[in-house]
A and B are shown apart, each in its own frame.
Chain A
Amino acid sequence: MLRILGKIQRIGILTEPVAVSDEPALTEVGEQLRQHIGARFHGSLAIREVDAGSCNGCELEIQMLGNPYYSIERFGVHFVASPRFADMLLVTGPVSRHMEEALRRTYAATPEPRLVIAVGDCGACGGEFGVSYASCGAVSNVIPVDAVIPGCPPTPLALMRGILQAIQARPQG
């Protein structure tokens, strides 16, 4: 136990205080996120992530939002296990035809008002896969989409910025 505490103290707090390379300050995006989530979601934004057929690259970067560098929970963002208590769906694509109905049902199970963000180039436009016998392409071909976050895959910071823009665009109330 002492060694765990020692290690924790030596590593210190990594959670990013300043700019990451050429990206604008993470905290700036984060603080705005916190403010908007405070104003529009009573301080807590619950997200249900749905992989509707991706190559798993987007999932890896979305998972990274929870690591100590980004620690997105500190801004009030939580990933939840059920759409029934989600405010937002983060959907990666392309939407495979085999996931089409599961995505529709997940959407139907999410209480209104709900926000849907299509994540990644495939979610945005079908990406390398497009529309085929097995793929519906963009998420918007299957359910209504409020915003897109392009990238292959989008970086954690791009994801945070995209989530921020989507909730900013939503009418306050």
Chain B
Amino acid sequence: MKSAPDVLQPLLSHLLASGAQARHLSDQLAPVSMILVEADAWLGVARSAHALDFRWVGVWADDLRTDPTSAATFHVNACFEKTGAYLVARTTISGDHPALASHTPVYAGADRPERHVHDLLGIVFQNHPDTRRWCRHQAWSADQFPLRRDFIQADAIAPTPADHSYNFLLAQGTGVDEIPVGPVHAGIIEPGHFRFQAVGETVLRLEERLAYTHKGIEKIAQGRDAAGLARLAGRVSGDSTVAHTWAACQAMERAAGLELPKRAYHLRALLCERERIANHLGDMGAMLNDIGFAFGAMQFSRLREIWQRMSHDVFGHRFMMDCIVPGGVAHDLEPRFEASLRVQADAVREQIKRLMAIINDLPSVTDRVRGAGILQPEHARALGCLGYVGRASGHSVDVRRDAPYAPYDQLEVAVPLHHYGDVNARARVRLEEMAASFDLIEALLDDLPAGAHNTPWVAPTAECEGLGLVEGWRGEIMTYVRFGADGRLACFFPRDPSWTTWPALELLIHDNIVPDFPVCNKSVNGSYSGADL
């Protein structure tokens, strides 16, 4: 991490000057800093952070009880970041009707995350501009809170009815059509509901209704051991299995104060960069498919297939699932495969170059992607958009560069930045990110340390906690863990970057035509599962 005090001190001073009660804590979430604040200073924290240009990273809460019959006490945490210095603000509230000021009026990106916390823990965020439920549909009632320790799971649950009563915003007027889409979509993709209001072909408004794949991940994590949590984290979003497992393991290892052999970090990064390339290859093909350019779609899907086959041959799984484990990686890289990985990286890099020389020359392609789905830089910034979505709209965040964790602290990470914010810019960023990842794979293999690929996992004592921060292919993943007794997890919260880009899709589709929605959506490609939890 960068010298956090230089960045954080002004925030603390600002906060104290505003009369807030705050106490600085240095090491509980090390290397991330944490401050404890009184509940009535909660809004002040967001205001001070916003005034000093901090980014809002996420919010999560934790029912601290070990005895479910005792009175409820919650930790509520919000994370902020500026130039790689991360700060967690924490407050403690209690009672059956806990309430806290909403950060949403200050940070627009806090909207759905706060509603998620409310639906699962019953914490009311006061002055939240949108009081509708978010991750709750009809599977549990408004007075039940699944993440509270006294939540009682019914033995037999009646069939869950469809969610008819959600109040979508309505557009009224002559010539406004409403187009409901989903949750079962036409393609082989994840479920969600999109409510379009259109005038002719032009989209006036899009409203998303997600959480159809809500599986209760935070709840079923509780009581798992470290290895079990790593497996679960690897299934938060299947396409980001490596990055999510890494973030969860990093959080657990920070909680346990466990240092890994250098080789383990290198191998993790190798897996993660391969995952980034696999997904960008797939999405490039899918974007070209969505504009009806079958040649490009087939070429990129071909490259993705050979890439995944190599992952299977070298790491034993086409998506490299469960390759990262607490303490390191599950299997060592056999020396005979080092050359294969290099040769493939070179070959695929060259293939992309040749393909793009053809594709860039076709007006029928460029016409469709230039100027389509523009996300304005100020919107990207306001929502804290991560990954390629932010980087295509002038908002550059990359944990590998800003708060480098091993092995990126030893590597130069090139982070592309574009400003126009359209589908074309997002595609450019993805291509440039692939180029950077090919360089990283080469550097990682050049400098692969000898030695062990893992170290035995040693569970920390109860109450140890950690925050993992990993740059997945969609952007920064923030994962919080707190251990309970016997090395078992008491709290797990993975914040997928899709939380920040789903709201961006609603904005960038405005004034585009309905037939351009698929390519606009694919250029963003939020994870449903990753954000639904």
Please report A residues at the B interface, Cβ cutoff 8 Å.
3-4, 7-8, 11, 14, 20-21, 49-64, 66-69, 79, 81-83, 94, 96-102, 104-106, 127-130, 132-135, 152-153, 155
- Let me know if B335 is at the binding interface, CB within 8 A: no
Among B216, B231, B302, B309, the most chain A Cβ lie within 10 Å of the Cβ of B216
Residues in B with CB closer than 8 Å to A68 are: 298, 301-302, 305
Please name 29 pairs of A and B residues whose Cβ atoms are closer than 8 Å in the assembled complex, sorted by A. A3-B357, A4-B358, A7-B358, A21-B309, A50-B184, A51-B188, A51-B213, A55-B236, A56-B238, A56-B239, A57-B241, A59-B190, A60-B319, A63-B282, A64-B301, A67-B302, A68-B302, A68-B305, A94-B215, A96-B213, A97-B157, A99-B183, A99-B212, A100-B160, A102-B183, A134-B216, A134-B219, A152-B235, A153-B319
| Residue from A4, A49, A57 within 8 A of B235 (CB atoms) | A57
Q: Which 7 A-B pairs have the closest CB atoms?
A: A57-B238, A134-B216, A97-B139, A81-B186, A55-B238, A67-B301, A97-B160
Minimum C-beta distance from A135 to chain B (A): 5
- CB of B241 within 8 A of CB of A21, answer no
Residues in B with CB closer than 8 Å to A97 are: 137-139, 157, 160
Residues in B with CB closer than 8 Å to A134 are: 139, 146, 214-216, 219
With contacts A49-B188, A98-B211 known, is A132 near B137, CB below 8 A? no
CA distance A41 to B355 in the complex (A): 39
Residues in B with CB closer than 8 Å to A20 are: 309
- Let me know if B237 is at the binding interface, CB within 8 A: yes
Please report B residues at the A interface, Cβ cutoff 8 Å.
137-140, 146, 151, 153-154, 157, 159-163, 183-184, 186-191, 211-217, 219-220, 231-232, 235-239, 241, 282, 295, 298-299, 301-302, 304-305, 308-309, 312-313, 318-319, 321, 354-355, 357-358, 361, 527-529, 532
- CB of A67 within 8 A of CB of B184, answer no
With contacts A4-B358, A102-B162, A133-B153 known, is A69 near B302, CB below 8 A? yes
With contacts A7-B299, A152-B321 known, is A133 near B157, CB below 8 A? yes
| Residue from A67, A82, A105 within 8 A of B304 (CB atoms) | A67
Minimum C-beta distance from B152 to chain A (A): 10
- CB of B186 within 8 A of CB of A98, answer no
Residues in B with CB closer than 8 Å to A62 are: 188
Residues in A with CB closer than 8 Å to B304 are: 64, 67
- CB of B140 within 8 A of CB of A8, answer no
